[in-house]
Amino acid sequence: MNQDIHIPALARVEGEGALTIRLKDGAIDDILLNIYEPPRFFEGFLHGRHYQDVPDITARICGICPVAYQMSSVQALEAALQVTISPEVRSLRQLLYCAEYIESHALHIYLLQAPDLVGYESALSLAADDPQLVRQALQLKKIGNELLKIIGGRSIHPVNTCVGGFYRWPTIEAIHNLIPDLEWARQASIDTVKWAATLNFPDFEHDYEFVALNRIDDYAIYDGDILSSSGKRISPSDFEKHYLESHVERSNALHSHTADNGTYFVGPLARLNLNYKKLRPMARQAAREIGLKFPLRNPYKGLIARAIELVHVCDLAIELANAYQPVGSSFKEIRLLPGEGVGVSEAPRGLLYHRYVVDEQGFIRFAKITPPTAQNFAQMEADLWALAPSVVNQPQEQASLSFEHLLRSYDPCISCATHFLKLRIHRT
Amino acid sequence: MSKPTLAVYKFSSCDGCQLSLLNLEDELLDLAGAVEIAYFLEARRRTLPAPYDIALVEGSVSTPHEVERIKEIRSQAKNLVAIGACATSGGIQALRNFTNLDDLAMAVYEHPEYLHALPTSTPLSEHVRVDYELWGCPINKYQAVEVIQALLQKRRPNLPTHSICLDCKRQGVVCVMAAYGIPCLGPGTRTGCGVLCPSNGRGCYGCFGPAPSADMKSVVRSMNFVERYPAEVRGLLTHISNYAPAFHQIAETPEVTRNQARGGQK
């Protein structure tokens, strides 16, 4: 006998999905994380576009992390066109990326995940009881958005990024004026770490394969080599040989796995575990003060990793803003030549890979994009399997909340459809 | 007295317009005080049952399920507001309307037969009656506040429809087309973004859709003078708001397509 139970649930994520849990004789028979995000075919319609349209188009894949899409795509195209950007452009891109991290991490920590940990259905309800906490969160998020606006023109789908650099240098005055706010944000981030340490995270640890960018000299966000906790280090141009995508029937998103068919985990936990020593001293100190032990193997504690990264990016943003000194042209002139290039950066949710082929007139002949959430899907499913036995016998509402919280802790950026998870538990 | 109810929905889109509402950092808690946020899954888990006084809908209609869903939402909402380029014109993903969906799907997915997508991505207004439209990719969040306020105050919202070009003149932004020879769709594009691209030294690419009164033929003629690479003008018209009738009609005329043979665009 089948008993279908539908619980409309997964709020506070970006995307549409359904979770089906089938039970047979009291045991878990199958778990299907079904993403029915309407496909939008970006790689298809990038074909034939001029290379300079690409950062504007790929930004539209995600309203929450458009800068990540712009940064991976311009790096890939600059590699294809053999353009070397100036150090000043690189610094400003790093600053732009810091801004997106502040906005995106503040959103996820406080508005998307924290309500699960403090027992509220949303930050809006939480605000009724703790207005100060929510106001601080919104202020932090706003400072990220303000910095995005100063550099990019607007916070969602900024317009200033181009292949070769920026269309225009922001004024020194505008950047400097934001420094006091960034200093406030840095302190608010340190407070966020302390607050995060007081939360009760579910007990759930696994031996994941973490994958993130890595650099010798700093905490890799804008670029780097690809490092795995298995010890494997590859150059970005070898990504597709080691990390494969496949299309599974239940999902409109592609799923990734390693070349030997294992699952892997990208995002803030992966970055922090692999690159902890490269964090800025202030962020390391924040981690030490709460007694954090590495490696962190609890996906729910991605929230703590985000909080520590907030300290890092605020501190870095202050340094970059103080040092901001536009010199020369804000972009390199492009000489057309056919070529192929790869670009990888760390979106707030994890590794974001782009590859393009450009023809002799500057038109795109091939595009491939691997977003972080596609890489995490297989790991998310594996975690649902691991969690299920301890959850399925709970009352429906509680079971649903437990599954939802696990999925939300991954900060899935499905970003293409309604936020709606149907939990169906089939009992036979 | 109970508060008016607000619902926010997402169709095929990037989430950016809903995020614009969450980016009302200074106003969000006041907004939650003025209206009952009854359905807004990106922001909250709790949902209150329909009907709703105001429904804001982000995204285009691109799957069979979405065709049914928008009708249901319409029947449950006193006022339906389409928010953003996807909901008002089909969005960038409407580029599929001019090509064969099977070709596109093959370019992205190994097994297109698993997909459940319509061959077109269309604005809400092709499926249901829409009370107001907020253009933009993303929307201007203050226009969203204006619409909500106007609906609460039972007045018409003040949503300007003149072109970007006029605002550049008003704000003293240097004309990128006249001064630097960069094609700019500003004379044909609805205002609302705050003349972002020209003030960043680049041409407008039409995020806010066509300005209702624009003479597209003249706009195209002036851009053709300064086209820098094959099919650049066509690229601007077939961008974010490609399926907006004023843009896609002119994009198919010989004045725009004549450069295409040398260019790479389909």
| B15 Cα to chain A: minimum distance (Å) | 5
**Angle at the Cα of B63 from the Cα atoms of B62 and B67, rounded to 5 degrees:** 90
**Angle at the Cα of A347 from the Cα atoms of A211 and A149, rounded to 5 degrees:** 165
Q: Which of B12, B20, B43 sits opposite A416 (nearest CB)?
A: B12
B262 close contact with A: CB closer than 8 A: yes
Q: Which residue of B has its CA nearest to A168?
A: B200
Q: Which residue of A has its CA nearest to B32?
A: A124
Segment A362-416, tens digit of pLDDT:
999 999 988 898 888 889 889 998 998 888 888 878 888 888 899 899 888 764 2
Q: In this model, does residue B259 exceed pLDDT 90? A: no
Give the count of beta carbons closer than 10 Å to the beta carbon of residue B190. 25
* Host domain of residue B104: 5-152
Q: Please give the helix or strand (H or E) that residue A44 lies within, else none.
A: helix A42-46
The per-residue pLDDT for A418 is: 28
Residues of A within 8 A of B107 (CB-CB) are: 41, 43-44, 47
Residue B159 resides in a domain: no
The total number of residues shown for chain A amounts to: 428
What total number of domains does chain B contain? 2
Task: Tell whether B250 and B148 lie within a shared domain.
Answer: no
Residues of A within 8 A of B264 (CB-CB) are: 48-50, 359, 361, 363-365
Q: Are A153 and B196 in contact (CB under 8 A)?
A: yes
Rounded to whole angstroms, the Cα distance separating B171 from B189 reads 16
Task: Tell whether B24 and B130 lie within a shared domain.
Answer: yes
Residues 6+ apart with CB under 8 A from A231: none
Dihedral in degrees, nearest 10, Cα atoms B81, B84, B88, B91: -150
Q: In this model, does residue B56 exceed pLDDT 70? A: yes
Of residues A399 and A71, the one with the higher pLDDT is A71
B250 close contact with A: CB closer than 8 A: no
Interfacial B residues in 156-195 facing A (CB < 8 Å): 193-194
Q: Which of B45, B66, B105 sits opposite A11 (nearest CB)?
A: B45
**Omega of the bond leading into A295 within 30 degrees of 0 (cis):** yes
Q: Are B40 and B8 in contact (CB under 8 A)?
A: yes
Residue B207 resides in a domain: yes
Task: Report CB contact under 8 Å: A44, B107.
Answer: yes
- A233-234 β-sheet, strand order: A211-214, A225-228, A233-234
Q: In this model, does residue A359 exceed pLDDT 50? A: yes
Q: Are B230 and A329 in contact (CB under 8 A)?
A: no
Beta strand segments in B50-179, E: 52-58, 77-83, 132-134
Rounded to whole angstroms, the Cα distance separating A333 from A348 reads 30
Task: Tell whether B33 and B142 lie within a shared domain.
Answer: yes
Q: Which of B16, B96, B199 sits opposite A156 (nearest CB)?
A: B16
Beta strand segments in A174-232, E: 211-214, 225-228
Q: Are A50 and B232 in contact (CB under 8 A)?
A: yes
Residue B265 resides in a domain: no
- Six-digit token string for A81: 């066109």
| B214 Cα to chain A: minimum distance (Å) | 23
Going by pLDDT thresholds of 50, 70 and 90, the confidence category of residue A251 is low
Last residue of a domain, which of B92, B122, B152?
Answer: B152
Amino acid present at A393: N
- Of the candidates B53, B128, B61, the one whose C-alpha atom is nearest the C-alpha of residue B90 is B61
- Of the candidates A84, A74, A82, the one whose C-alpha atom is nearest the C-alpha of residue A54 is A74
Last residue of a domain, which of B152, B173, B188?
Answer: B152
- Six-digit token string for A293: 């032990």
Task: Tell whether B76 and B190 lie within a shared domain.
Answer: no
Write down the ipTM of this complex.
0.95
Q: How many angstroms separate the Cα of A110 from the Cα of each of A129, B73, B194?
A: 14, 29, 30
Residues of A within 8 A of B239 (CB-CB) are: 53, 56-57
Rounded to whole angstroms, the Cα distance separating B251 from A289 reads 60
Task: Tell whether B86 and B178 lie within a shared domain.
Answer: no
B45 close contact with A: CB closer than 8 A: yes
Q: Are A156 and B138 in contact (CB under 8 A)?
A: yes
Task: Tell whether B222 and B128 lie within a shared domain.
Answer: no
Q: How many angstroms separate the Cα of B234 from the Cα of each of A58, B143, B164, B238, B254?
A: 18, 29, 19, 6, 11
Residues of A within 8 A of B205 (CB-CB) are: 56
Question: Mind giving me the DSSP string for A350-390?
Answer: EEEEEEEEE-TTSBEEEEEEE-HHHHHHHHHHHHHHHHHHH
Segment B15-55, tens digit of pLDDT:
999 999 999 999 999 999 999 999 998 899 899 999 999 99
Q: In this model, does residue B201 exceed pLDDT 90? A: yes
Q: Which residue of A has its CA nearest to B93?
A: A40
- Six-digit token string for B93: 């993903």
Residue B157 resides in a domain: no
Q: Which residue of B has its CA nearest to A149?
A: B196
Q: Are B206 and B226 in contact (CB under 8 A)?
A: no
Task: Tell whether B209 and B81 lie within a shared domain.
Answer: no
Residues of B within 8 A of A70 (CB-CB) are: none
Rounded to whole angstroms, the Cα distance separating A28 from B228 reads 61
Dihedral in degrees, nearest 10, Cα atoms A401, A404, A408, A410: 120
Task: Report CB contact under 8 Å: A124, B92.
Answer: no
Q: How does DSSP classify residue B190?
A: B
Residue B174 resides in a domain: yes
Segment A180-238, tens digit of pLDDT:
999 999 999 999 999 999 999 999 999 999 999 999 999 999 999 999 999 999 999 99
Q: Are A67 and A58 in contact (CB under 8 A)?
A: no
Q: Are B148 and B141 in contact (CB under 8 A)?
A: no
- CATH number, domain of B44, equals 3.40.50.700
Task: Tell whether B194 and B79 lie within a shared domain.
Answer: no
Task: Tell whether B148 and B200 lie within a shared domain.
Answer: no
Q: Which residue of B has its CA nearest to A116?
A: B45
Task: Tell whether B148 and B177 lie within a shared domain.
Answer: no
Residue B15 resides in a domain: yes
Q: In this model, does residue A39 exceed pLDDT 80? A: no
Question: What is the mean predicted confidence (pLDDT) over B184-198?
Answer: 97
Q: How many angstroms separate the Cα of B169 from the Cα of each of B164, B165, B217, B225?
A: 9, 7, 21, 21
SS3 of residue A285 by DSSP: helix
- Of the candidates B120, B241, B109, B122, the one whose C-alpha atom is nearest the C-alpha of residue A56 is B241
Q: How does DSSP classify residue B114?
A: G
Question: Which of A65, A112, A146, A156 is the best residue to mutate to test the B interface, defined by the most B CB atoms within 10 Å of its own CB?
Answer: A156
Last residue of a domain, which of B152, B186, B204?
Answer: B152
Residue B158 resides in a domain: no
Q: How many angstroms separate the Cα of B205 from the Cα of each of A52, A76, A296, A308, B190?
A: 12, 22, 45, 38, 11
Residues of A within 8 A of B106 (CB-CB) are: 44
**Angle at the Cα of A340 from the Cα atoms of A337 and A341, rounded to 5 degrees:** 115
Q: Please give the helix or strand (H or E) that residue B8 lies within, else none.
A: strand B5-10
- Of the candidates A257, A120, A279, A86, the one whose C-alpha atom is nearest the C-alpha of residue A193 is A279
Of residues A45 and A328, the one with the higher pLDDT is A328
Task: Tell whether B199 and B118 lie within a shared domain.
Answer: no
% of residues, chain B, pLDDT over 90: 84
SS3 of residue A161 by DSSP: strand
Q: In this model, does residue A154 exceed pLDDT 90? A: yes
According to DSSP, the β-strands at A243-247 and A233-234 are unpaired
Residue B36 resides in a domain: yes
The mean-pLDDT minimum among A283-292, B113-122, B207-216 falls in B113-122
Task: Report CB contact under 8 Å: A64, B16.
Answer: yes
